[in-house]
Amino acid sequence: MHFRRIRLAGFKSFVDPVELRIDDGLTGVVGPNGCGKSNLLEAIRWVMGESSAKSMRGGGMEDVIFAGTDRRPARDAAHVTLHLDNSSRRAPAQFNDSDDLEVVRHIERGLGSAYRVNGRDVRQKDVQLLFADAATGAHSPALVSQGRIGAIIAAKPQDRRLLLEEAAGISGLHVRRKDAEQR
Ligand code: ATP
Ligand code: MG
């Protein structure tokens, strides 16, 4: 599955709707400090089902909504739409009836957030599983956020080991072993 297009509206600094095409191969996003590069990556993680406000650099999930500037009032909602190429038909069965998948997440102040895939309301879990199966989930080692490399280098050996185990996909085994030992 490939990402094809992403559309943001009201999300962090992307107050006006903006749509970006993602072609095959390597995509670079360049720009001056504070122009929104990390916000864009966070939008991708958010639409894939990120549930931690902290990893979105916010105190609460509503902080992803455009908060206003000196010249523009705050918004009440944010939308992110991700278009996926599913021509390889690798999506989970419930979504595998089309070559294109449109995943939408939106949030409204006071109302929380909701997801749609190809126009159908779905649960957060369904979206998370869609991406987990494609090995690109919001928590997968495929996404490395700013400062993370420094944190890995500065981490204590024990903590660094946890990160490596997470990346290797074996951290679940420790949980199961502990579980078995306590029985
Ligand atoms: P750097 O090169 O320093 O890493 P960057 O391009 O990654 O910069 P971002 O961190 O994506 O920049 O963008 C930061 C900008 O986004 C700041 O100006 C901040 O005020 C703005 N911003 C973040 N959240 C919101 C929000 N909810 N509403 C409005 N603006 C926001
Ligand atoms: Mg950044």
Question: Token pair of 152, please?
Answer: 């890995």
Complex ipTM? 0.98
Residues 41 and 63 in one domain: yes
Residues 114 and 152 in one domain: no
Residues 127 and 155 in one domain: no
How many domains is the chain built from?
2
In the numeric block, the tokens 């903006």 are attached to: 18
Residues 178 and 104 in one domain: no
What ranges make up the beta strands (E) of the chain? 2-9, 18-21, 77-85, 100-108, 112-117, 120-122
CA-CA distance, 57 to 146, in Å (whole number)?
A: 11
Q: pLDDT tens digits for the chain (183 residues)?
A: 889 999 999 999 999 999 999 999 999 999 999 999 999 999 999 999 998 888 889 999 999 999 999 999 999 999 999 999 999 998 888 899 899 999 999 999 999 999 999 999 999 989 988 887 766 666 666 777 788 888 888 989 998 888 787 777 676 677 678 778 988
Predicted TM-score (pTM) of this structure: 0.84
CATH number at 38 reads 3.40.50.300
Atom nearest to 40 CA in ligand 1: 11
User: Which residue's CA is minimally distant from atom 1 of ligand 1?
Assistant: 33
Residues 111 and 28 in one domain: yes
Tell me whether residue 38 is annotated as binding: yes
CA-CA distance, 56 to 75, in Å (whole number)?
A: 18
Terminal-to-terminal C-alpha distance of the chain: 41
Tell me whether residue 125 is annotated as binding: no
Q: Which residues contact 48 (CB under 8 A, 6 or more apart)?
A: 82, 103, 127, 128, 131, 136, 137, 138
Span from the CA of 39 to the centroid of ligand 2 (angstroms): 7
Domain extent at residue 68? 2-138
Residues 7 and 39 in one domain: yes
Q: Kindly state if the Cβ of 7 falls inside 6 Å of ligand 1.
A: no
Residues 7 and 50 in one domain: yes
